[in-house]
Amino acid sequence: MGSSAGSWRRLEDSEREETDSEPQAPRLDSRSVLWKNAVGFWILGLCNNFSYVVMLSAAHDILKQEQASGNQSHVEPGPTPTPHNSSSRFDCNSISTAAVLLADILPTLVIKLLAPLGLHLLPYSPRVLVSGVCSAGSFVLVAFSQSVGLSLCGVVLASISSGLGEVTFLSLTAFYPSAVISWWSSGTGGAGLLG
């Protein structure tokens, strides 16, 4: 029994020598890798939710385009006086801001409901690309649109970007230490503040 254990140790040593002769990538400091991952996921969370938050915050201004002719933004010199017989002192749009809220939430909800059915068949890089293009397109579409309907299409693009990005980036956390989920969450909160 002792001789078989000795030969097994020699076999282990010879295997170790074979694997040690192969060139290895330089090891990075584990703390620097941890910080790079943490900051990376914080930025991903921030970028993913930024357009979503901006569209919700600007809901009133997006719908106000219907009143402005030619989508020309200008600063009014002072508050417009309201007639005394007005029933409300609030400035309201003919379309409720709930339209922007629905356009910003429903596509994300649909993506999150349907993602388990087959989104895993699509590689990560096309998903990230589509998410980024939708996010950039949402800002361009809302900024240059001449109608409320087109602006709402831009809000839908922001929603698609956010929903697809969330499903993609959170599934990527399986390949990293569990602490990156906290950093992702913090980044999404940062998007709320910066947006």
Listed by start position, the domains of the chain span: 40-65+96-194
End-to-end Cα distance, the chain: 70
What value does the mean pLDDT of the chain take?
A: 77
List the structure tokens of 131.
Answer: 């998410």
26 pLDDT band, cuts 50/70/90, is very low
- Angstrom distance (rounded) from CA 187 to CA 155: 21
Q: Of 171 and 82, which is predicted with more confidence?
A: 171
Predicted confidence (pLDDT) per residue in 123-155, tens digit = 999 999 999 999 999 999 988 988 888 989 999
Single pTM value for the model: 0.69
User: Which residues are within 8 A (CB) of 86 and not within 5 positions of it... i.e. 6 or more apart?
Assistant: none
- Angstrom distance (rounded) from CA 45 to CA 192: 10
Predicted confidence (pLDDT) per residue in 154-169, tens digit = 999 999 999 999 999 9
Q: What is the mean pLDDT of residues 12-29?
A: 52
Q: What is the mean pLDDT of residues 27-54?
A: 84
Q: Whats the size of the chain, residue-wise?
A: 195
Predicted confidence (pLDDT) per residue in 88-112, tens digit = 556 666 677 778 888 889 999 999 9
Torsion angle defined by CA atoms of residues 142, 146, 151 and 154, in that order, rounded to the nearest 10 degrees: -50
The percent of residues in the chain predicted with pLDDT above 90, rounded, is 23
- Angstrom distance (rounded) from CA 158 to CA 155: 5
Residue 14 burial by Cβ neighbours in a 10 Å radius (0-12, 13-18, 19+): exposed
Confirm if 188 and 48 have CB atoms less than 8 A apart: yes
The percent of residues in the chain predicted with pLDDT above 70, rounded, is 69
